[in-house]
Chain A
Amino acid sequence: MAGTVIVGAGHAGVQAAVSLRQAGYQEPIRLVSREERAPYHRPPLSKAMLAGEKRPEQIVLRGPDFFDRNGIELMPGACASALDPASKRVRLADGSLAYDKAVIATGAGARMLEGFRYENAFVLRTMQDALSLQDAMARGANLVIVGGGFIGLEVAATARKLGLSVDVVEMQDRLLQRAVPEALSSYICQRHRARGVRIHLGAQIGGVAASAGRITSVELSGGARLAADLVLVGVGNAPEIGLAAAAGARTASGGLLVDGAMRTTLPDVYAIGDCTTFHLPVTGSQVRLESVQNAVDQGRTAAGGIAGQGGSYDPVPWFWSDQFDMKLQMAGLSVPGGEFTVRGAVESGSFSLVETLGDRLVAVHSVNAAADHMASRRLIGAPGRFDRRAAADKDVPLKACLAAPMDRCA
């Protein structure tokens, strides 16, 4: 048996390998990793690792002996260049790997903006990116961040803690526009400003001034000049779909289209994590998600299918972000027309925005409110009417706001 070849050793790929072994899968497993270093957690790259509070070896996904011990052949520094579903082989730079099942876990790559290709402009996606950025932050005083998304804001918070001067340039008129409700955007903006981050909303980049291959300032179209020793470009990611798309896999919304079992449209080829687009049962919509939860749970689902245990992907999506003293935790996905109820006192720094549509709970956006977040992960999508007025009282547990569906008499 040729076994399973997993391309990509991020959260999704590693979880798929681990879950296959946990499910009793006996065939060979090969884990093709473009990076030389052992697989690691990505979230600390913008926070504890960047701040120097964690060393790279502290954020590994598994210990150094794990893969050998579990019969998983980790292939570091290997680049998959083609997928041939007819002969069932993955081509590498030096030879090819036969597979019974292939799992595409290639993730997404950070977008760099044209016009910013200078030696002191960075993106942040990999450990190497984090180490390079960390090095530049240690030597520079003025950091300009292009993009007010999660990566930009997390790095802004870390950089302020390290004493850098920070400007964040956001094109939209609010931060985190695609990820959080407006009220939360303005709260986060206020908290950053209170900690000395200069945030420029609705700002267009006019250009950069450079000297000797380095950016010296970023100019806004209104004329403002932001002095820069280094620049972080945090304008999102592009899913890495080339391998499977070139082999004919169907794509949607930029990702590889997968069904509830994580199967692509190619026979015996699965895809998981940031590079997939799928139908999310709890919202009834087609989505592409970039999160640890999505990567890990899709890895588990694909492994279950390959190992013959079945299972369909039906999660409540959740993710988190840590910025200054704010622990942001989001469960569910915002919907157009969602109504918001504030739970807890915003001034206390611990509250949630409870999002409902009619009598359905669709999402809970929490700031320093772990209990709300954890409860909502169980309540979103559960049957019954959700009472948003009751949820406004933080002393009423969220689960008490959900009335069990009434039994109907025949």
Chain B
Amino acid sequence: MTDEINISFRTADGEVFRVSAARGTTVMEAAIMNDVPGIEAECGGACACATCHVYAPEGVGPAEDEYEQDMLDFAADERRANSRLSCQIELEPALEGAVFQLPRMQI
């Protein structure tokens, strides 16, 4: 299916989880639906909790939304230039093969 996009998550301990999910699904939802540990997503994607923090690969781009940026300031782990809330990134073909690094903690 061309609508399925494959991405990976690498945990803080180096373990890699490969998942595939439909285009339009968020990166957070792809992690939750595939039981990737290290994403809490307490608010279920409302950009209200900062517990789905990831370090995004090149090509995803930094958070442009001011709201997301403000939430990222309060993520439990270190905020870096490539920090994103994974509930705000939708899967699209350009993300095929992308690897998202998980922080050590979300809470």
A: which residues have CB within 8 A of B? Answer: 41, 43-44, 47-48, 54, 57-66, 69, 292-293, 296, 320, 322, 327, 329, 368-371, 374-375
Contacts and interface: CB of A to CB of B under 8 A. Distances in A.
Given A47-B46, A63-B35, A69-B35, 11 more contacts: A43-B44, A48-B45, A54-B45, A57-B33, A61-B32, A62-B32, A371-B70, A374-B50, A374-B70, A374-B71, A374-B74
A369 B48 CA distance: 11
Contacts of B25: 58
Nearest to A44: B44
14 contacts: A44-B44, A44-B46, A54-B45, A61-B32, A63-B32, A63-B35, A65-B35, A293-B42, A320-B43, A322-B46, A370-B70, A371-B73, A374-B71, A374-B74
A296 B70 contact: no
Contacts of A371: 70, 73-74
B74 A59 contact: no
Nearest to B66: A370
Interface residues of B, number: 20
A329 B67 CA distance: 12
B43 A292 contact: yes
B44 A66 contact: no
Contacts of B71: 370, 374
A296 B48 CA distance: 14
A370 B48 CA distance: 8
Contacts of A58: 25-26, 29, 33
B77 to A, nearest CB: 14
Q: Is the interface of B mostly helix, strand, loop or mixed?
A: loop
Central interface residue in A57, A60, A61, A370, by most chain B CB within 10 Å = A370
B62 to A, nearest CB: 16
Contact of B46 (A64, A66, A69, A320): A320
A320 B48 contact: yes
Contacts of B44: 41, 43-44, 59, 61, 292
B72 to A, nearest CB: 9
A296 B42 contact: yes
B95 interface: no
B73 A374 contact: yes
Contacts of A296: 42
A63 B50 CA distance: 20
B35 A329 contact: no
Contacts of B67: 327, 368, 370
Contacts of A63: 32-35
